[in-house]
């Protein structure tokens, strides 16, 4: 079976299960939802009628009072209403009022006057200042004949003198419930149909995109590979780019040429300096001249050795897949960095401001110290004498940001996009260039820690480097 069809079946199965789950919940919630809404209406009606019935209760003749007259006229004047396709032709409320002892003094149906309702939940609870409601079968043989009653207290000068209950048969809500259930089921069927149509379109698109990538992958082995396709999706585009990168790596020329070219360029100057010094030494110059050129040879040799060691360190770091994170105190990290660079900072009369923080990050302490050290070294190199550098730590969106800012000249616009490239470097204030591996090392450390490194210019001058890491939770 083709992958597109498998995805379609899986997608449709997921949608069908989700639709069934959601629809079943909706259908199950329709009946209690309608009843809750009805109960809210009954509460409002009972509270209003309780105010009207207070005078009737105080008069001692509630059966001849205003409520009795209103219900008598209501029964004599039937009405018709069309509520969204549901036809209503009669009043379905049943209202009764009791005195403070729970005995019925008014009944809109005229059947319960004089009866003791003090034990019914609606009356019992309301007389005690609580919310009273009940649901009772009007016909014991019919489980669908339940009537919902909601009560409100009748008060006189703050004292409860009776209870007014309003009831409505649950069967009166059945048309609304059935109509809502039907509409939900129709909507569910329409949802499944639309989902199937969308799934067919997506499956066809996926099959076509995968076919394009397959043809491109097959063409890699030919002498004339097809151009890199654009599948139209960021994920598939990444896959296409990964295939392209794999092709380039298999050809074995891009990275090798880059490394060899960069390494040759970096070694050319020290080798030339050593050769020139050696040629002069073969002529047996005076001792003081010979000593100067011997020192030059040692300096250039140390420069080549440093470059090779940095290359090996970078290669080892790029080959690492993961680290074993431990809790690293940011304050301790800042303190060690300040101590190891105190002499260099003093030589340039640069002020280092370290944030005193209790934050901790999860990571490799040696790698983090070396990465932050590279950022601090760059800041020192590009900060003029008398400048200020700061090390700041702050929490942001459940992460910890370690920030190095300087007051130097900033990064030229043309270099912003290339600062993390291997061997790319800018001239320092002393006219020298670095190996160009410091920021590349920082980027690899950020990758191993599943973090991020950014570097940009500050509006007030200088640059700001932000290493974002995960916090350590104890």
Q: What is the distance between the terminal CA atoms of the chain, rounded to a whole angstrom?
A: 49
**Segment among 34-38, 273-277, 429-433 with least mean pLDDT:** 429-433
Q: Read off the pLDDT of residues 400-430 as tens digits, 9 standing for 90 and up.
A: 999 999 988 888 888 888 887 766 777 666 5
- Decide if pLDDT at 320 tops 60: no
d(C-alpha 283, C-alpha 280), whole Å? 5
The tokens for 286 are: 């005076």
Which pairs count as long-range contacts for 67-76, CB under 8 Å and 24+ apart, including other chains? 67/95, 67/97, 67/106, 67/108, 68/106, 71/95, 71/108
Q: Are 346 and 317 in contact (CB under 8 A)?
A: no
Q: What is the pLDDT of residue 3?
A: 59
Strand order in the sheet with 399-406: 351-354, 388-396, 399-406, 463-469, 452-457
Q: What is the pLDDT of residue 474?
A: 54
d(C-alpha 17, C-alpha 224), whole Å? 48
The tokens for 398 are: 């459940």
Using alpha carbons, list the distances in angstroms from residue 66 to 72, 73, 363, 400.
Answer: 10, 11, 81, 72
Q: Are 391 and 409 in contact (CB under 8 A)?
A: no
Query: In the structure, what pLDDT confidence band is assigned to residue 4 with cuts at 50, 70 and 90?
Result: low
The tokens for 322 are: 């993961």
Most confident residue range from 7-11, 142-146, 233-237, 365-369: 365-369
d(C-alpha 57, C-alpha 69), whole Å? 14
What is the pLDDT averaged over residues 321-339?
84
**In this structure, how many other beta carbons lie within 10 angstroms of the beta carbon of residue 192?**
16
3-state secondary structure the chain: CCHHHHHHHHHHHHHHHHHHHHHHHHHHHHHHHHHHHHHHHHHHHHHHHHHHHHHHHHHCCHHHCHHHHHHHHHHHCCCCEEECCEEECCCCCEEEEEECCCEEEEECCCCCCCCECCCCHHHHHHHCCCCCEEEEECCCCCCCCEEEEEEEEEEECCEEEEEEEEEEEHHHHHHHHHHHHHHHHHHHHHHHHHHHHHHHHHHHHHHHHHHHHHHHHHHCCCCCCCCCCCCCCHHHHHHHHHHHHHHHHHHCCHHHHHHHHHHHHHHHHHHHHHHHHHHHHHCCCCHHHHHHHHHHHHHHHHHHHHHHHHHHHHHHHHHCCCCCCEEEEHHHHHHHHHHHCHHHHHHCCCEEEECCCCCEEEECHHHHHHHHHHHHHHHHHHCCCCCEEEEEEEEECCEEEEEEEECCCCCCHHHCCCCCCCCCCCCCCCCCCCCCCHHHHHHHHHHHCCCEEEEEECCCCCEEEEEEECECCC
Give backbone dihedrals phi and psi of 161, rounded to 5 degrees, phi first.
Answer: -110, 0
Integer Rg of the chain from CA: 42
Q: Read off the pLDDT of residues 98-135 as tens digits, 9 standing for 90 and up.
A: 999 999 999 988 888 899 999 999 999 999 999 999 98
Using alpha carbons, list the distances in angstroms from residue 163 to 64, 127, 153, 291.
Answer: 17, 7, 5, 114
Q: What is the pLDDT of residue 252?
A: 46
- Decide if pLDDT at 173 tops 90: no
Q: What is the pLDDT of residue 270?
A: 67
Q: Are 150 and 165 in contact (CB under 8 A)?
A: yes
Query: In the structure, what pLDDT confidence band is assigned to residue 89 with cuts at 50, 70 and 90?
Result: very low
Q: What is the pLDDT of residue 280?
A: 78
**In this structure, how many other beta carbons lie within 10 angstroms of the beta carbon of residue 84?**
7
Q: Read off the pLDDT of residues 152-169 as tens digits, 9 standing for 90 and up.
A: 999 998 899 999 999 888
Give backbone dihedrals phi and psi of 435, rounded to 5 degrees, phi first.
Answer: -75, -20
Q: Cα angle vertex 197, ends 192, 202, to 5°?
A: 120
d(C-alpha 296, C-alpha 17), whole Å? 77
Cα atoms in the 13 Å half-sphere on the side-chain side of 331: 4
């Amino acid at each position: 079976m083709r992958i597109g069809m498998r995805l379609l079946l899986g997608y449709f199965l997921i949608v069908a299960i989700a639709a069934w789950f959601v629809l079943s919940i909706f259908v199950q919630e329709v009946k209690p939802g309608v009843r809750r809404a009805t109960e809210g209406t009954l509460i409002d009606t009972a509270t209003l009628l309780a105010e009207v019935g207070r005078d009737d209760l105080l008069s001692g003749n509630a059966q001849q009072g205003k409520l009795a007259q209103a219900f008598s006229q209501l029964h004599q004047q039937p009405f018709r209403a069309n509520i969204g396709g549901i036809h209503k032709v009669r009043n379905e409320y049943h209202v009764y009022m009791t005195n403070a002892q729970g005995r019925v003094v008014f009944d809109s149906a005229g059947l319960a006057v004089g009866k003791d309702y003090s034990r019914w939940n609606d009356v019992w609870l309301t007389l005690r200042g609580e919310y009273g409601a009940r649901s009772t079968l009007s016909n014991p043989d019919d489980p669908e004949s339940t009537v919902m009653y909601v009560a409100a207290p009748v008060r006189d000068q703050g004292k409860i003198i009776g209870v007014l209950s309003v009831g409505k048969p649950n069967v009166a809500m059945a048309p609304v419930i059935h109509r809502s259930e039907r509409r939900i089921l129709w909507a569910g069927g329409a949802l499944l149909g639309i989902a199937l149509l969308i799934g067919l379109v997506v499956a066809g698109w996926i099959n076509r995109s995968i076919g394009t990538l397959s043809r491109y992958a097959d063409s890699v082995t030919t002498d004339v590979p097809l151009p890199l396709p654009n599948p139209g999706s960021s994920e598939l585009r990444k896959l296409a780019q990964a295939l392209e990168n794999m092709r380039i790596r298999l050809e074995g020329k891009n990275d090798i040429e880059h490394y060899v070219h960069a390494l040759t360029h970096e070694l050319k100057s020290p080798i030339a300096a050593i050769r020139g010094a050696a040629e002069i030494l073969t002529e047996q110059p005076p001792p003081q001249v010979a000593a100067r050129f011997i020192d030059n040879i040692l300096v250039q040799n140390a420069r080549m050795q440093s470059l090779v060691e940095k290359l090996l360190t970078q290669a080892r770091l790029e080959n690492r897949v993961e680290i074993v994170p431990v809790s690293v105190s940011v304050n301790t990290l800042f303190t060690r960095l300040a101590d190891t660079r105190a002499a260099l900072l003093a030589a340039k009369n640069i002020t280092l401001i370290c944030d005193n923080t209790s934050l901790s990050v999860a990571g490799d302490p040696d790698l983090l110290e070396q990465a932050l050290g590279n950022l601090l070294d760059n800041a020192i190199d590009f900060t003029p004498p008398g400048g200020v550098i700061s090390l700041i730590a702050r929490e942001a969106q459940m992460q910890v940001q370690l920030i190095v800012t300087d007051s130097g000249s900033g990064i030229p616009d043309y270099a912003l996009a290339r600062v993390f490239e291997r061997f790319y470097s800018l001239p320092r204030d002393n006219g020298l260039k670095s190996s160009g591996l410091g920021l590349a090392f920082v980027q690899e450390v950020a990758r191993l820690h599943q973090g991020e490194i950014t570097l940009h210019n500050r509006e007030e001058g200088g640059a700001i480097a932000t290493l974002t890491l995960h916090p350590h939770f104890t």
